Amino acid sequence: MKYKRILLKLSGEALMGKNQYGIDPNRLEQYAIEIKKVKDEGVEIAIVIGGGNIFRGVDSERSGIDRVQGDYMGMLATVINAMALQSSLEKHGMYTRLMSGIKMEQVCEPFIKRRAVRHLEKGRIVIFGAGIGNPYFTTDSTASLRAIEMHADVVLKGTRVDGVYTADPEKDPSATRYSVLSFQEAYEKGLSIMDMTAFTLCQENNLPIIVFDMNKPGNLYSIIKGEKTGTLIN
Ligand code: UDP
């Protein structure tokens, strides 16, 4: 296997499936199956999950909610998703630990770096909930930061699109996909891969990112084997 320890970033929106809101049980099931294939190969897996299917801090001001308050609400939304994912992974026989950036003793452990690493070494899948626990950050930044802390080999950003395109493929049919990109190129071309904080953290710490379509069965597994799937940014 090409990668021994990965950080998988899943967006909250992807969990909605075809729904407009919330969690699609079929999607959850599908993710568990995809993750299990990789786990069975002995890969150490850390997961960061977003909350966009439930609440996003940036949208809060529109509804008259203070931004910082809204960001905390967004972080709590990620914990809801993380708990759902944890349950689904356990149903498929995987050992998991949920670690949160905000203390919530009844449902998860607080994030402690050394402990998280130990869980990974013991073969447990570690899910990071509540982002990094601070407002004005995103779960993409959380993914980059935790990946660096965990010494992950790569950040795998699972999306609905199969990589990074020259333009938005959902709007521009002539858009073509990059298979490899350097951080510098991505920056100069203004390609939106992750928010700047997340992107810069990866760049400065030489942590490669792979953007891929998580909804296509077998994709995650093929990346782990080292096949050219999605777009590699390094
Ligand atoms: N959030 C935050 N700090 C963090 C992580 C997340 O404040 O460290 C909040 C932020 O409001 C964000 C929301 O949680 O909008 C949900 O996360 P995100 O938008 O990254 O989820 P995704 O787009 O991946 O579904």
The greatest distance separating any two alpha carbons of the chain, rounded to the nearest whole angstrom, comes to 51
| pLDDT exceeds cutoff 90 at 38 | yes
- Taking the centre of ligand 1 as the mean of its atom positions, its distance from the CA of residue 74, in whole angstroms, is 5
| Average pLDDT of the chain to the nearest whole number | 96
Q: Give the per-residue pLDDT at 169.
A: 83
Q: What is the DSSP string of 51-65?
A: -TTT--HHHHGGGT-
Assigned token pair, 56:
């996003």
Check if 51 has its Cβ closer than 6 Å to any atom of ligand 1.
yes
Cα three-residue angle 74-25-168, rounded to 5 degrees: 60
Q: Which of 56, 141, 196, 201 to mutate to test the pocket of ligand 1 (most atoms within 8 A of CB)?
A: 56
Share of the chain above pLDDT 70, in %: 100
pLDDT of residue 150: 98
pLDDT for 212: 97
Instruction: Say which CATH architecture domain 5-233 belongs to.
Output: 3-Layer(aba) Sandwich (3.40)
Work out the average pLDDT over 151-157: 98
**pLDDT at residue 168, rounded to an integer:** 85
pLDDT confidence tier of residue 198, bands split at 50, 70 and 90: very high
Instruction: Please tell me the distance from the alpha carbon of residue 77 to that of residue 55, in angstroms, as a whole number.
Output: 6
Nearest CA to ligand 1 atom 22: 50
Please say whether the beta carbons of 202 and 144 come within 8 A.
yes
Cβ atoms of residues 89 and 47 within 8 Å: no
Identify any residues that bridge with 10 across adjacent strands, giving them in sequence order: 49, 158
How buried is residue 110: exposed, middle or buried, by Cβ count under 10 Å (0-12/13-18/19+)? middle
CA of 61 to the centre of ligand 1 (A): 15
Tokens of 54: 């439930």
Q: State pTM to two decimals.
A: 0.96
Q: What SS3 class is residue 211?
A: strand
Is residue 159 lining ligand 1, measured as CB closer than 6 Å?
no
pLDDT score of 135 = 97
- Pick the atom of ligand 1 nearest to 49's CA: 24
Structure tokens of 95? 């050992």
DSSP 69: H
47-51, 68-72, 121-125, 168-172: the lowest-pLDDT one: 168-172
The predicted pLDDT at position 33 comes to: 98
Q: Kindly state the average pLDDT of the residues 94-114.
A: 98
* Contact present, 46 and 5 (Cβ < 8 Å): yes
Ligand 1 geometric centre to CA of 49 (Å): 9
131 ligand 1 Cβ < 6 A: yes
Residues 220/159, Cβ–Cβ less than 8 Å: no
- Residue 130 CA to ligand 1 center (angstroms) comes to 8
pLDDT at 185 over 90: yes
161 and 213 in contact (C-beta within 8 Å)?
Answer: yes
Question: What does the pLDDT read at residue 217?
Answer: 96
Alpha carbon distance 18, 27 (integer Å) = 9
Closest atom of ligand 1 to 11 CA is 24
**pLDDT recorded at residue 109:** 98
Say if ligand 1 is within 6 A of residue 57 CB. yes
